[in-house]
Amino acid sequence: KAGVTQTPRYLIKTRGQQVTLSCSPISGHRSVSWYQQTPGQGLQFLFEYFSETQRNKGNFPGRFSGRQFSNSRSEMNVSTLELGDSALYLCASTPMGGRNTGELFFGEGSRLTVL
Amino acid sequence: GQQLNQSPQSMFIQEGEDVSMNCTSSSIFNTWLWYKQEPGEGPVLLIALYKAGELTSNGRLTAQFGITRKDSFLNISASIPSDVGIYFCAGQLAGANSKLTFGKGITLSVRP
């Protein structure tokens, strides 16, 4: 069974640009969550999507947005990039067939560097 | 918002030693989970705990859900070099579809 796939793995952008990151969950998984990981703050929750609807949202500015498609694939977008947006962006999926057990399956992440 | 406290930030142990980590919160959680992240990888679930007082093992790893529901402990016995990585605790509040809150992680180094 293929794991969670995130693309691109690495990217470099400059301040003011925007970026789109992609996540393909494990086949059959319907919930996708996004996290930002930085050395100082650890793993910070961005948002969660289920059945193409945003179900949970963290405390990030509106520059951070996401969406989920009918095949459960998800994208997140960051507009007007700032230096502080440099981070590892992790996507995680869960089956969501029943109770949300909190058990997440993470991808390897997309490493974003903002210059 | 909820915060999970993990300390120290880094731990250094000798191969073969046991190590214990704890995670505390001011909030009550319904579920506690422990994840491990190796360099260049995403976190991987080690153990999930669903009941206060629950003690669960996964090989050399043992974790407990604190009675107060505000803390959890992870113990690694007889450490080996491949135990190196960042260990995160995570808590989930009661309620369907509640999001996870992660601690900042403890970086474990194992000296051969």
Q: Own/partner pairs for B67-70, CB < 8 Å, 24+ apart?
A: B68/B28, B69/B28, B69/B29, B69/B30, B70/B24, B70/B25, B70/B26, B70/B27, B70/B28, B70/B29
Q: How far apart are CA B101 and CA A94, in angstroms?
A: 16
| pLDDT confidence of residue A2 | 73
Can you tell me the distance from the alpha carbon of A57 to that of B16, in angstroms, rounded to the nearest whole number? 42
The whole-number pLDDT of residue B34 equals 97
Q: What are phi and psi of B27, to 5 degrees?
A: -105, 155
B64 interfaces chain A, CB cutoff of 8 Å: no
pLDDT level of residue B20 (50, 70, 90 thresholds): very high
Residue of higher predicted confidence among B21 and A101:
B21
More confident of the two residues B96 and B39: B39
* For A56, nearest residue in chain B (alpha carbons): B99
Average pLDDT over residues B68-81: 96
- State the 10-residue block means of pLDDT for chain A, 115 residues long: 90 98 94 92 91 91 97 96 97 73 91 98
**The pLDDT value given to residue A100:** 61
Average pLDDT of the residues in B38-45:
94
Residues of B in contact with A107 (CB under 8 A): 42
**Mean pLDDT score across all residues of chain B:** 93
Nearest CA in chain A to B41: A108
- Give me the amino acid identity at B72: S
